[in-house]
Structure formats: C-alpha cells, structure tokens
Amino acid sequence: MADFLQILITAIAVGSLYALIALGYTMVYGILKFINFAHSDIFVLGAWTSLTASVCVITWLKLDTQQPPLWLAPVVLLCAMVVCGGVAFLVERLAYKPLRKSARLNVLITAIGVSLLLQNVGQLPGFTAAEKDGRSLATVPFGPSPSRMPSLLPDTSLISVPFPSGDPTIPAASVQVNLVDVFIFVSAMVLMFGLQHLVYRTKLGAAMRAVSFNTETASLMGVPVDRVMSFTFVTGAVLAAAAGFLYALKYPGLNQPAHEIWVLLGLKAFVAAVVGGIGNVRGAVLGGFLIALIEFMGMYLFSKYLDPLMGTNMGTNLRDVYVFSVLIVVLLVKPSGLLGTPVREKV
Amino acid sequence: MSALTDLIPAHRPSLAQSLFAGVVVPSLCAIGVGTLMQFGVGPVLGDYWTSVGVQVGIAVMLAVSLNIVNGFTGQFSIGHAGFFAIGAYIGAGVSYYGALLIWNDASAMAHGAPLVWNNSKSWLFGAGEWLMIGGAILGACVAAAFGYIVGLPSLRLRGDYLAIVTLGFGEIVRVLLQQTRPQVFDGAELREMSAGELVIPPLGGATGFSSIPKYANLWWVWLFVAVVVFFAYRVKVSSTGRALLSIREDEIAARAMGVNITKYKVRAFVLAAALAGIAGALYAHSGNVLQPRDAGFQRSFDCIIFVVLGGLGSISGAALAAVALSIMTEALRGPEPILENWIALLILTAVISIVAAILRAVGNRGWRITLLMAVTPLSILLLGLASKFFTDATGINLADYRMVVYALLLIVVMLVRPNGLFGLTEIWEYFGPERAKKPPTTPPTASQAAAAAPTEGSRP
C-alpha cells in the first residue's frame, strides 16, 4: 500500500509536468495546425539552461553549493523561460513562418529538422561558462557529456505517513510527500491557471481563439495573425521551459545525447495532448495526468504481478511501451481524443 | 462485354513474355550488378571501402523502401528503423540459431562459402548463405506483417498523427528488443529450452547479438539493392504506383476517382516494411554485433533525410542521396582512407566529366545532371581534405557537426525545394535529346489537345 501511494504521488508530480508540455503542443496545434516536433527539444533546452544558469550563478556569486538561497530558483526559472522563449521566437520566424502556406508534410519535415538541429547543437562541445579550480563546470552549448543539476530546494519531506506492516520482521514503510513534488505541482497549477486566464479572459486570448477557429476570417476582422501566432508559439515554449526546470529539480541527472530519454519524455507529453484531444487546453491537462498515471501504474503493476509470474525483470523498462500503446489504442478508438471534437474534412 | 472493351486492342503479354520481362531479365541484371560489385569494384576498393560499400548498399535499400511510403504515398513514417530491426533480428536469429541447431556450431563462416571481402578463393553458395537468404525472406515477411499492423491506423490518421504512431512503433520495437534474453551459445542448451522460455526469445537484449556469420558481402548486398530498386521502380510505374501517387496528391480526389485508399495505404506500408526487413537481415550479416541501438531513431532519421534530399518519389534520387551522404559521413569521420584514394576519386570525377562533355556534344539534355554528379566525388575529396586540416588545426572532429549540417540541410531543402532535389523525376528522365528552344507559337487545336491528353501524367 505504501509503495502504491508513493508511486501515485510521483505520478501526480510528473503528470503535472506532462500537462505543462502538452499545453504547448496543443496550443501550437490549435493555431498553426501542425505538430511542433521541436517542442520536446525546447523542454530539454529548458532543463539544460536551468542547469547552466544555476551553476553559473552559484559559481560567479560564490554561493553555497549545498544550500543555495531560495531566491535562486525563481531567477533560474526566469532565465530558462527567457532563453527558450527567444529560441522559439527565432525558430518560428525563420523556419515555420515561410512555410505557412505549404503542405503539411513539408512543415512536419521542417519541424523534425528543427528538432534535430536543437538536439545536435546542444551536444556540441561548447565554451566554458563557469569554471572552478581550472575545471569546467558548465558550457554553452551544453557539450556531449551528462551533467548534474545542483539542488536548488532543500531536500525535505513535508508530510510523512508511516504505514506499519503487519509482520514485525518487515520494517514499517512510510509515504513521503517531498517539497520538490509539492513545488512542482503548485507551480504547474499556477502556470496552468494563468494560461486559462490568458486564453479565456483576455483580449489576446480572444484573438488566439479567433485565429484557431478560422485564420482568414480572424485576419479580416483585424486580428494581427502573425503576431498572435508568434505569441502563442513563445507562450508554449515558456511553459515547456518551466516544465524543463521543474523536471531538472526532480530528476537532477541530465543525459546527453538528449534524445534517448529526454526527448522521449517530451513525446510522451505529446501523447498526452493527443489523448486529451489535441487543440483542447483542458484536454491537455487531463491527458497529462492520465498518461503519467498509466505509465507509473503500468510500471508498478507489471513489476509487482507480471514479472514474478514470468520470471523477468522488465516492468520498469517497458514504461514507454505502455504510453505508446495507449496512444495507438486511443487513436484507433477515438482519434479526436477524449475531449476533442471530431473534425469534418471539407472538400 | 461492353462495346468499349471491344474497341481497345488487347495488349496483354503472354505468361512467358511477362515471366521473361518481370523475372528473368531483372534476375540476370541483379546477378550482373552483384558480380560487378564483387569482382569488378570490390578488388579496387580494398577492405575498408568494401565494408563501406556494404553499408552504402544497405542505406540505398532503406532509402528506396522508405520512399514507397513517404515519397509515393505521401504518408509520413518516422519509424522505419522498427521494420529494419525486425528484419535484422529475425535474419540473425535464423542464421545463427539455425546453424547452431543443424551443425551444432555457429562460428562465423563455418558453413558458408563466403566471398569474404577481397578473399575470393571459394565458390559462391554455401549452406550457411542459403540460411541467410531464408532468414531475409522470413524477416521480410514478418516485417511486412508488422507493416500491415502499423499501416492500419494510417487509415484514420492524417500525416502528423501517423508520424507519431510510427515513431512510437519504432521505439516499442527497440525497447522490446532490449528486454530479450541473453544469447545462447550452446546447441544443447538451446534444445533444452522450454517453449515457455522461448516466449521471450534469446536475442541478446541490450548487450547485443554477437557472432553472426558475416555473409553479407558486396555480392549479396548489391544483388538485393538491384532487386529492391527494380521492385520499387515497377511499383512506381504500375497501377498501384499511380494509385499511391494519387493519394499523395489529394486523398479526397483520389477517393472520388475510385481509388481504394485503405487498400493502397496499407499496401504501401507492407511493401516498404518488407524491403526494409530485407535490408535489416543483410545488415545483421554485415557486422559482428547487432544491437537494438543500431535501429534507433537515428537510423529512421537517416532514411528520412535520404528520401527528402533525394526527392520525395524519385527512386534514383533517394538512392543517389543515400550513396553520397553515406560516403560523406565516412569522409567526415576519418578522412585518411579518402585521402589515400585521392587518385581514384579524381579519376572518377574526370570520367564522369568526360561523359558529360560527350553528352553535351551530342546535344543530350542530361549533361548538366551528369556534371553535377561529377562534382560529388570531388566534393567528397575536398570534404576529406577540409576535415583533416580542420582537425589538425583545431582538434575538433568535424564528424561531431555532421548532424547539425544534416538538420540544417533538411530545413533549407524544405524551404527552397519542398519536393526534394529531384522531386518525382528519376535521374534518367533528365536525359534525352535537347528540346526545341522555341515553343510552338500557335495554340494546339482541340483535336491535338485531345490526342495529347492520355500521355499526360504518365511522365512528369
């Protein structure tokens, strides 16, 4: 029971990150009508930027590495958001905007190209940005080797509920709610409600919805379509940057090459957007939590029940398989997603 | 039956004619290509370049097979490596475990009579090599079955969703292969395994499948390259190919014209998967260790860039892109072998340039494209030189930047030439007598236009 609850808590924390990334996918799809493959790379860029920024600030200001001051986290988050927003703006202007009138396949291939460009530029051996005792701590771009994010939050658990086991030989397990998990959940919630407010309560949000509904009519009504599209794109990237920062807080080991684990994580968020109904903001949030639950519960149930049965040890290794199987099933049964409305193709 | 069919003269070839044109001639051509590569080109190349030649052939097969889905049909598959991996592991399993069960010994080359690289001391066909061919055929069939399964969602999904499904498929295949049991090296142990244990086959898991006999030499690989290219070309010019191209241009219009979209989309996936399976089986026999990582997203992406650069729908364009990019990758990775062969590359450039000059002299349009091809070996040589000097001067290996350059190329090609360098056009369609400089000044009469109509569309 204790391990089940613990996994549930992790699933909720990771689910809120999936939801944040899925929001970016869904917003871009709603307005630009294509899947931004580079979105998961923006997420990874956010994580690596947070790492580099925090290492740099700590080294330059000679802060305490073990217990950095609490103001550092918001500063690093802001830094990641600015960098990702800037990169996304450039990508939209240089790569996607010239293709607005061309076939979907071409835009898709370009998106894959942008994704690979970001990934591989990120892996280039870079210039040293922070060094200590002649040893390079952080580089720009991030270099080919893995690195570790300094802990910006104290590693404390807020709530700890002991679960005594009936058998006295087995030590009592306890369910812990860590500060990191709560921080992730609360920040994700704040950002999501902020986005909800932006889309449904502001003039800009009305313009975004109008462009999403019908680009040409919106343009005729005086909506500055290009600017709204750029803004939407940058907003999605900023949310992904926040997700990257939060993810790096929870799992501080950052890998290179990124595509093996991290980009896959972004793609799972895309699955979340599709499952919730792409183009639908609430659907993305729902899908994010759902996908995380399926992933972690699948891992838990498989390792607990199926692995002993088959004499294997692969429950946790199959986590991507659960997610992509769910994607295929949803696409076959209800291609528009849980909350999406089916689109009629007009001739 | 109807009056219309009576009016059309029957041009159906007899069975013997179609067998001759469809089986005998291409088989002879394929054997000719294989023999030329093995005995003509192989001895000139030397060991290192022979192994590169094998990998280039596999890249060509992958590019041509992916072109059936991405180029002809306009569906976007980015999980092609999944089919490749299925073919590779089945091919490896058949030939390794088959040898283990039959001869109790799967040590490399024990039962083939291989033309090992340059060592052409023995005859061509050993029992082990037939095992490889059997494995390749089985791998192609299983990959085709998976192609059917992956093709099914394509009926309900448009472009980008399908891309994600295929990506997910590729990842699932890779992850599942990593979970397989460790390899069995003993025939007796293999026989004692129960059926329950074989549910998860002993394919080596993440550490890889090792000691697969190295049968795939230039002869076999380029024989299959010829078969695959011929097959893809026949598909392109057949009624199936026209149906696929119509789906690519406009799905709704194609359906309105009576094209069964379901059938043809799935058919494209099945064909592409089968050909990728063959490429995979040969790949398994070309190196020593087969790892799930070999069939990762990177390989799918390599196939996509071949197809996109070479031309979405152009078989020869995709093949040419596969050859050029594979060799350029080698040039960046280690320029020394390139620089050692600088004479050969210069001679190649000179020969192709002379051909271009002759073509120009006889007034053939193809001289421009031939000249363009002559630049390729020269640019490989220059790239090798630049890479060497750059590495010597700065200590930075240019191979690190390869993927950055590819990604930029992909974006730029999409912005500048959305259909790839060659588009739908095959390279040889650039050849032929020079067109008249002046277009006809009078517009064609109605009867002329009607007479010209049926030939439209058959040639781009």
pLDDT score of B446 more than 70:
no
CA angle B96, B102, B103 (to 5 degrees): 85
Distance CA B364, CA B298 (A): 40
- In this prediction, residue B1 carries a pLDDT of 47
What's the average model confidence in pLDDT over A168-176?
74
- In this prediction, residue B4 carries a pLDDT of 55
Interchain contact B321–A (C-beta under 8 A): no
What's the average model confidence in pLDDT over B304-332?
87
- In this prediction, residue B129 carries a pLDDT of 80
pLDDT score of B423 more than 90:
no
pLDDT score of B102 more than 90:
no
pLDDT digit string, tens, across residues B8-26: 556 677 888 888 888 888 8
- Band the pLDDT of A189: cuts 50, 70, 90: very high
pLDDT digit string, tens, across residues B251-297: 889 999 999 988 899 999 999 999 999 999 999 988 778 988 888 87
- In this prediction, residue B434 carries a pLDDT of 67
- In this prediction, residue B90 carries a pLDDT of 94
Residues 6+ apart with CB under 8 A from B175: A317, A318, A320, A321, B292
Q: Which of A20-29, A153-162, B118-127, B187-196 has the lowest mean pLDDT?
A: B118-127
Distance CA B325, CA B291 (A): 23
| Domain boundaries defined on chain A | 2-161+174-333
Residues 6+ apart with CB under 8 A from B253: B246
User: Would you say A22 and A284 are in contact if contact means Cβ atoms under 8 Å apart?
Assistant: yes
Which one has a higher pLDDT value, A182 or A146? Answer: A182
Report the first-to-last Cα separation within chain A, whole angstroms. Answer: 55
Which one has a higher pLDDT value, B121 or A66? Answer: A66
Tokens standing for residue A25: 């996918």
Give the position of tokens 């099914």. Answer: B152
CB atoms within 10 A of CB B386: 15
Distance CA B259, CA B243 (A): 6
Distance CA B398, CA B299 (A): 20
pLDDT digit string, tens, across residues A230-246: 999 999 999 999 999 99
Predicted structure pTM score: 0.84
DSSP-derived 3-state class of residue A232: helix
- In this prediction, residue B57 carries a pLDDT of 95
Please count the residues of chain A: 347
- In this prediction, residue B392 carries a pLDDT of 80
CA distance readout (Å), A16 to A188, A320, B375: 6, 18, 53
- In this prediction, residue B111 carries a pLDDT of 57
What's the average model confidence in pLDDT over B405-413?
85
- In this prediction, residue B114 carries a pLDDT of 47
Distance CA A301, CA B413 (A): 47
DSSP-derived 3-state class of residue A180: helix
pLDDT digit string, tens, across residues A84-101: 999 999 999 999 988 888
pLDDT digit string, tens, across residues B376-392: 888 888 888 888 887 78
pLDDT score of A5 more than 70:
yes
Distance CA B283, CA B118 (A): 19
CA distance readout (Å), B295 to A179, B68, B187, B308: 40, 19, 28, 20
- In this prediction, residue B457 carries a pLDDT of 42
- In this prediction, residue B447 carries a pLDDT of 52
pLDDT score of B122 more than 60:
no
* Most confident segment among B156-165, B231-240, B345-354: B231-240
Indicate the residue of B168, B179, B415 with minimum beta-carbon distance to A98: B415
Indicate the residue of B168, B396, B411 with minimum beta-carbon distance to A327: B168
Instruction: Kindly give the pairing relationship between strand A173-178 and strand A157-163.
Output: antiparallel
DSSP-derived 3-state class of residue A279: coil
Distance CA A159, CA A178 (A): 7
pLDDT score of B68 more than 50:
yes
Which one has a higher pLDDT value, B437 or B422? Answer: B422
DSSP-derived 3-state class of residue B182: coil
What's the average model confidence in pLDDT over B218-224?
90
Residue B140 parent element (H or E):
helix B127-151
Task: Report the percentage of chain A scoring pLDDT > 70.
Answer: 94
CB atoms within 10 A of CB B89: 26
* Most confident segment among A57-71, A227-241, B148-162, B172-186: A227-241
Distance CA A152, CA A51 (A): 10
CA angle A292, A76, A88 (to 5 degrees): 70
- In this prediction, residue B77 carries a pLDDT of 87
What's the average model confidence in pLDDT over B212-239?
89
Q: Please tell me the CATH code under which domain A2-161+174-333 is placed.
A: 1.10.3470
Q: Do A124 and B404 touch (CB under 8 A)?
A: yes
- In this prediction, residue A18 carries a pLDDT of 93
pLDDT score of B72 more than 70:
yes
Q: Evaluate the CA torsion angle A272, A231, A240, A183 in order and state its sign.
A: negative
Chains A, B: CB contacts within 8 A come to 117
User: Would you say B53 and B225 are in contact if contact means Cβ atoms under 8 Å apart?
Assistant: no
- In this prediction, residue B200 carries a pLDDT of 81
Domain architecture of chain B: domains with CATH: 25-296 (1.10.3470)
DSSP-derived 3-state class of residue A137: strand
CB atoms within 10 A of CB B375: 13
Q: What share of chain B is helix, strand, coil (3-state, %, to 5)?
A: 70, 0, 25
- Band the pLDDT of B99: cuts 50, 70, 90: confident
Estimate to the nearest angstrom the gap between the alpha carbon of A333 and the chain centroid.
26
User: Would you say A157 and A179 are in contact if contact means Cβ atoms under 8 Å apart?
Assistant: yes
Interchain contact B304–A (C-beta under 8 A): yes
- In this prediction, residue A136 carries a pLDDT of 75
Packing angle, helices A104-122 and B402-416, rounded to 10:
160
Instruction: Kindly give the pairing relationship between strand A135-140 and strand A173-178.
Output: unpaired
- Band the pLDDT of A263: cuts 50, 70, 90: low
Residues 6+ apart with CB under 8 A from A4: A300
Q: Do A117 and B408 touch (CB under 8 A)?
A: yes
Distance CA B251, CA B212 (A): 44
pLDDT digit string, tens, across residues A202-239: 999 999 999 988 889 999 999 999 999 999 999 999 99
DSSP-derived 3-state class of residue A139: strand
Q: Which pairs with CB-CB distance under 8 Å and at least 24 residues apart come from A222-226?
A: A226/A97
CA distance, residue A126 to nearest chain B CA (Å): 11
Closest CA to B153 of B45, B237, B63, B79: B79
Q: Evaluate the CA torsion angle A108, A110, A113, A119 in order and state its sign.
A: negative
Q: Which of A15-24, B186-195, B431-440 has the lowest mean pLDDT?
A: B431-440
- In this prediction, residue B344 carries a pLDDT of 80
Best of A120, A271, A306 to mutate (most B CBs within 10 Å, chain B): A120
Q: Do B200 and A312 touch (CB under 8 A)?
A: yes
- In this prediction, residue A21 carries a pLDDT of 92
Q: Do B172 and A321 touch (CB under 8 A)?
A: yes
CA distance, residue A299 to nearest chain B CA (Å): 14
CA distance, residue B229 to nearest chain A CA (Å): 24
- In this prediction, residue A145 carries a pLDDT of 79
pLDDT digit string, tens, across residues A271-321: 898 888 888 888 999 999 999 999 999 999 888 888 888 777 777 788 888
